[in-house]
Chain A
Amino acid sequence: MLQPYIPILLLLVFVVANAVLIIGASTLLSSYRPTAVKRAAYESGMPVIGDARERFSVKFYLVAMLFIVFDIETVYMIPWAVAFQQLKSMSGVLLLEMLTFVVILGVGYVYVWKRGALQWD
């Protein structure tokens, strides 16, 4: 019953074998002639200053977290909208529930806003 998936398995095997062959063959057959200058980072012919690994601002992380939270809120609204369509009889209760949900998250939004997390600088 898994008959139609055999080609996919074959494809997987071929892909892995191909990758291993290419990387393995070039590792075995290539020549590696490193010198100190050759291995140094390329900086348009100048000696390297500083490290390439710079620190990132923590604001990126903060914006990502906020996005996740409010995006999930939006995602929860979508099945609610679908269900709303089917349960039109209790529309008042449904609306009130969703409003409560939004208000709770809205409190969090106001907190974030007042704390200045929405300011980039």
Chain B
Amino acid sequence: MSGAQPDLVAANATVQALRERFPDGFLRSLVTSGQMVVYVAKQRAHDMLSWLQQDPAQRFDYLTDLTCVEYRDRERPLEVVYQLRSLARRADLRVKIPLDPDGPLEVQSVIDIWMGADWVEREAWDMFGVRFKGHPDLRRILMWEGYAEGFPLRKSFPLRGHWSRAEQTRQALQTNPEAYYSLEELAIAEAYHELPADVRDRLAKAGKVLP
């Protein structure tokens, strides 16, 4: 596409600036399908992402997406992928944090940098089990709250799930979808004191992070 070359020029400048400013956090960079991808270390990731958002020459003010990828090769790490965009400069950048798939899956949450990270981090937690430190409300978003079968998009999770269909159906029928919603989500925060006691007990479990 015609706009590819100028994008890569700007992206190269970003990569150079990152390499100079964060020599310990910068791992490597590569270009794939016209996209610049930067691999960063877990410890410095939050600082680097914060700098990318704030630096006047970078200004990546829009978090397009946040997801994870686990490859079939067991040697390759599990990567947390941040797709960034600078709306003013019309530039894209992909930042990846490689994690050991067998080790602790934890990174710093970027919700303080981009508010839009709220639900996408919950989705990454729900599907991959990657914990985001500092996220105020990390709970399942696509599967239901008490879903105990595991993290569905991991390669170790079979397509049809671990349990039998009968067990999955029983679990599904016995969930109470509203037991873990927060009061704000239910829009009844003002009326809390008027609720019956059992409803208050149910709602007291809101915000709990379940394995």
Task: Please say whether the chains A and B touch (CB closer than 8 A).
Answer: yes
- Of A47-55, A59-67, A69-77, A84-92, the one touching chain B: A47-55
CB pair A50 B177 closer than 8 Å: no
Specify the main secondary structure of chain A where it touches its partner: loop
Cβ contacts under 8 Å, A50 to chain B: 188, 191, 194-196, 199
CB pair B177 A49 closer than 8 Å: no
CB pair A49 B188 closer than 8 Å: yes
Cβ contacts under 8 Å, B171 to chain A: none
Cβ contacts under 8 Å, B1 to chain A: none
CB of A46 closer than 8 Å to a CB of B: yes
CB of B47 closer than 8 Å to a CB of A: no
CB of B43 closer than 8 Å to a CB of A: no
CB pair B177 A51 closer than 8 Å: no
Chain B contact residue count (CB 8 A cutoff)? 10
Cβ contacts under 8 Å, B188 to chain A: 49-50
Least Cβ–Cβ distance between A33 and chain B, in angstroms: 21
Chain A contact residue count (CB 8 A cutoff)? 7
* Interfacial residues of chain A within 16-53, with CB under 8 A of chain B in the complex: 46-47, 49-51
Closest A residue to B178 using CB positions: A46
Cβ contacts under 8 Å, B16 to chain A: none
Least Cβ–Cβ distance between B131 and chain A, in angstroms: 29
CB pair B194 A49 closer than 8 Å: no
Mask: chain B, 165-180; 1 = CB below 8 Å from A; 0 = not: 0000000000011100
Closest B residue to A43 using CB positions: B178
Least Cβ–Cβ distance between A13 and chain B, in angstroms: 47
* Interfacial residues of chain B within 158-211, with CB under 8 A of chain A in the complex: 176-178, 186, 188, 191, 194-196, 199
Cβ contacts under 8 Å, B196 to chain A: 50-51
Taking A49-B188, A50-B188, A50-B199 as contacts, is the C-beta distance between A55 and B194 under 8 angstroms?
yes
Provide the bound-state CA to CA distance between A114 and B133, in Å.
Answer: 54
Provide the bound-state CA to CA distance between A87 and B186, in Å.
Answer: 66
- 17 extra interchain contacts, Cβ-Cβ under 8 A, other than A50-B199, A54-B191? A46-B177, A46-B178, A47-B176, A47-B177, A47-B178, A49-B178, A49-B186, A49-B195, A49-B199, A50-B188, A50-B191, A50-B194, A50-B195, A50-B196, A51-B194, A51-B196, A55-B194
13 interchain pairs, CB-CB under 8 A? A46-B178, A47-B176, A47-B177, A47-B178, A49-B178, A49-B186, A49-B188, A50-B188, A50-B191, A50-B194, A51-B194, A51-B196, A54-B191
